[in-house]
């Protein structure tokens, strides 16, 4: 868990090192449009069909796992 | 099943759910339409679920899921053959499904421009510029060198600028400064 967190922080560090603080990054308007487009889809959330699917997968796994397969 | 396994399973589902909106946005970016994207996400969820023992706990699940989805996308494309791309047609269909999200002309134009990029450039700029992956991670997901990803991202940006007419002419309002810097960066 803490490893995960550290990794995430490193990732952020790598990415932010590409853009110097205080400097307007080149291609900013393209980058902004790209994120706007992407975020618009992300903000739609998770369609019910995927929640149902995961529910069914989980249920099927519970039913089919009398013996520990691992 | 031991208590530990149960906890792992719950963690797997939780992490998968947490990654879904981002994964789905990637699928929409790759396929250009919501219906196909959701089919692709569904296939990815089933594959991921069936292979969850091959996922190493503590590693980046988002990168793992993106890799599965990407492989699935290209293998389906190879099987079916590339369908005729009709950005305008695709887009009007998207409008009929999600008018509120795509009401902004800006995003519509951007979507069209994105559709015109070669697949490898599009996925590179999406992974790095929108999905939040580092170059190294994007390279691992695409199975290529870091330098290759960097050059694809750079070419994608240049192409998008051409397609969207971002030239630093000052017609972009608050973006004018950005555009000027951009043209300087690419002018040399």
Contact A37/B134, CB-based, under 8 Å? no
Residues of B whose CB is below 8 A from A39: 25, 130
Q: What percent of chain A has pLDDT over 90?
A: 33
Place of tokens 């170059």: B135
Q: Does B60 touch chain A (CB under 8 A)?
A: yes
Judged by a CB distance cut-off of 8 A, whether residue B97 touches chain A is no
What topology does CATH give the domain B1-83?
A: Rna Polymerase Sigma Factor; Chain: A (1.10.1740)
Give B-chain residues touching A16 at CB under 8 angstroms: none
Q: Distance between CA atoms of A51 and B24, rounded to whole angstroms?
A: 13
d(CA A43, CA A46): 9
Closest by Cα among A27, A22, A32, A34 to B168: A27
Cβ separation A61–B114 shorter than 8 A? no
Residue B128's closest CA among B112, B144, B106?
B144
Predicted confidence at residue B105, as pLDDT, reads 59
Q: Give the C-alpha separation, B182 to B126, whole Å.
A: 19
Q: Do A54 and B178 touch (CB under 8 A)?
A: no
Mean pLDDT value across chain A: 72
Q: What ipTM goes with this model?
A: 0.73
In this structure, which topology does domain B118-188 adopt according to CATH?
Arc Repressor Mutant, subunit A (1.10.10)
pLDDT in tens, chain B (188 residues): 445 555 456 789 999 999 999 999 999 999 988 899 999 999 999 999 999 888 988 789 999 999 999 999 999 988 876 554 444 445 444 444 444 444 455 777 888 899 999 999 999 999 999 999 999 999 999 999 999 999 999 999 999 999 988 654 434 444 444 444 444 545 43
Q: Which residue does chain B place closest to A43, by CA atoms?
A: B21
- Look at B182 and A11 and tell me if their CB atoms are within 8 Å: no
Inter-helix orientation angle B119-129/B135-142, to 10°:
140
For B119, the token pair is 């697949």
Q: If DSSP codes are grouped into helix, strand and coil, which group holds residue B151?
A: helix
On the CB side of A43, CA atoms within 13 Å amount to: 10
- In this complex, which of A37, A47, A53 lies closest to B110 when CB atoms are compared? A37
Q: What are the boundaries of each domain within chain B?
A: 1-83, 84-116, 118-188
> What are the DSSP E strand ranges found in B103-164?
none
């Amino acid at each position: 868990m803490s490893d995960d967190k550290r990794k995430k922080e490193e990732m952020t560090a790598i990415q932010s090192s590409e853009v110097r603080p205080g400097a307007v990054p080149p291609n900013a308007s393209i980058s902004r449009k790209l994120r706007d487009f992407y975020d618009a889809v992300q903000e739609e959330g998770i369609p019910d069909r995927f929640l149902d699917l995961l529910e069914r997968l989980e249920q099927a796994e519970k039913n089919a796992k009398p013996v520990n397969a691992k | 099943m031991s208590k530990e396994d149960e906890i792992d399973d719950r963690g797997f589902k939780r992490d998968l759910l947490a990654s879904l909106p981002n994964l789905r946005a990637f699928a929409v970016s790759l396929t250009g339409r919501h219906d196909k994207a959701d089919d692709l996400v569904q296939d990815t969820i089933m594959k991921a679920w069936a292979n969850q023992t091959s996922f190493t706990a503590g590693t980046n699940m988002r990168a793992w899921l993106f890799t599965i989805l990407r492989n699935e996308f290209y293998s389906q494309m190879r099987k079916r053959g590339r369908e005729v791309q009709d950005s305008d047609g695709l887009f009007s269909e998207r409008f009929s499904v999600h008018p509120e999200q795509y009401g902004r002309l800006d995003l519509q134009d951007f979507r069209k421009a994105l559709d015109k990029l070669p697949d490898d450039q599009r996925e590179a700029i999406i992974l790095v510029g929108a999905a939040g992956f580092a170059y190294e991670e994007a390279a691992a997901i695409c199975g290529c060198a870091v330098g290759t990803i960097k050059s694809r991202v750079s070419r994608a940006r240049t192409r998008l600028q051409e397609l969207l007419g971002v030239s630093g002419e000052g017609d972009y309002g608050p973006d004018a400064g950005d555009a000027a810097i951009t043209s300087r960066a690419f002018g040399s």
